[in-house]
Amino acid sequence: MIMKAVYLFFFIVLLGCSSNDDPKPVQNNALFDTKWQTEDIITKIIYGGECYQVIHFKDNENFEFYKTRNGQISSHDDEGTYSINEKVVTIKYMNSTTNKETIANFDMINSGTLVRNPKGTAYDTYVKQ
């Protein structure tokens, strides 16, 4: 009887220790927790100072747009999701000005440069911070 109890105990321990449910580590993409900025010329003309538009890729799929003036966040504009397909970054968000879903593509020129590229014409160049 004692031997059956010992065998049962070891069997339960073996089943508990041989679980395949261990979480797999998440492989972060190249944009994970990075910030990219471009000079905001219009805001600079109106208010003066150092003005930038910033894209913060918060994790592997979410981002936020905000503006800075003289190193301080001056406005949170929009947030949404993004995906990477080879060297093209596609962002999707609800535009707070037009209240419409907006999709924008960026060409990843190198590990430190994103170029917003609507219909083949360079628009804004964002530099990794």
Reported as a single tens digit per residue, the pLDDT across 33-67 is 999 999 999 999 999 999 999 999 999 999 999 99
Residue 112 lies in a domain: yes
**Domain with 83 in it: what CATH number?**
2.40.128
Tokens of 54: 């910033």
Mean of the pLDDT values across residues 69-75?
94
Domain-embedded: residue 60:
yes
Q: Which structural domain range is residue 105 located in?
A: 34-128
Contact call for residues 62 and 80 (beta carbons, < 8 A): yes
- Please give the tally of structural domains in the chain: 1
pLDDT at 27: 75
Any domain includes 70: yes
Q: Is residue 66 part of a domain?
A: yes
Compute the distance between CA of residue 65 and CA of residue 106 in angstroms, rounded to an integer: 14
The answer to the question of residue 78 being in a domain is yes
Q: Are 65 and 77 in contact (CB under 8 A)?
A: yes
Claim: this prediction has a pTM higher than 0.85: no
Would 29 be classed as within a structural domain? no
3 part of a folded domain: no
**CA 59 to chain CA centroid, nearest Å:** 4
Q: Is residue 124 part of a domain?
A: yes
